[in-house]
Structure 1
């Protein structure tokens, strides 16, 4: 074999897998979204009819609104909590490594285990809900609520559970970034009389901008695309927690409208692509002005 062609030959297996398991399904799904499809039979060409139906469907628009609210809470929560935990475990305290392990444990838990725990913990007192029982014992019984069964409350609760679940991962991302900061920068700040908060604001945060960019992008993608499991196991997408991915699932497997579900998937893809493009462009502009 010609040695100049060897590198290209080595790429063939990987490119074949990429085509078969990614590009081909994406193309086929797009083709199905412009045809009538009931899950078994491909019907007549429908053009953009399914896209128009989805975009004019109030239930889809409501699910999209829920997704945006969910994403805002999750993105802010993961970054704030993850950064706070990273700052805490970065301190030279005894047992900090054990604390890191404990804080990372939720990331490793099965979603069914997470769902069972939080469903029990947040249920009403008459069903043994520990959180409401704690509120009652502290004299805060007036705050008791059905945290996973009250519209307007359930969506925020599910988002906070998602923050709890993944904050350990974002903690490690920020911690890795903190460990790359030159200690001399902190020494110079101390010589200038900067206290701990000033050092964090003027040294740590500016040095973590690239890490914050990655963490935010990961949280954003997770909030829009990987929200199905936590929503489904906690509320079955009821009580005002229906997001786009659960709405898509119900559209396909409950109502058998696979064509509309495919259109929803590509609408969601377009929304994520636009948000990501705008975020990346804005972040580049911000870094250029630093």
Structure 2
């Protein structure tokens, strides 16, 4: 994990926390006690207990499994229709092919009012994958996700845990075209874009996925409950081939929501601290001999 990226912004960690609207007591600190066979955990505020998820997932195969608490029941997934030709074609694309396919996509009505499709931005071999809901007006204009005020807040949040856009971080959205009036993407629109998102995950192979907002959670996990009920849990994203290992997935607030609801910034900081702990644990476990 890269360190020192907060210095690249010209701000101290505490100034970054102030930029996020958090008081100085919200800070990372390594606990003296070691967890999981010597793995140091980065302390955040106590995790919120949330109910286990019990509804069927509809989009991709993900199994719920809490990291720091007794495992909730596994989430079942109803059998869906076989992959069509479009999905099979997308599943074979490399990055150049994926960019071309997204740029020319006419599979749903969102293409009608877009200036350009927005695939994503960042390190294509990143450990961290952040997924939002869809491009806004400025993203549609510039062709990059999370720009403007929400993007500035996300950059401050990343810098506060020693991350930086483009370095070990990839940022994507559930849909690649701007919904009219910046509305929340509809379920059918997210389902149409889902093969692109799945292919991005396969190509990146991140060690951790952070879902920003209810729409992103719906796109990846299915319609499994409110954002409040999903926070504090750890899910596993598994590839369609049914591989035994999975990528840890957590759910947090979208930066645009945090700009409107300042009191939840502390909860988002808690989520980032827990995400950093999860990634540290996953990285350490992967380095241990079999």
Greater fraction helix: 1
Larger gyration radius, structure 1 or structure 2: 1
Q: TM-score range by the shorter chain?
A: 0.3 to 0.5
Q: TM-score, normalised by structure 2?
A: 0.34
Greater fraction strand: 2
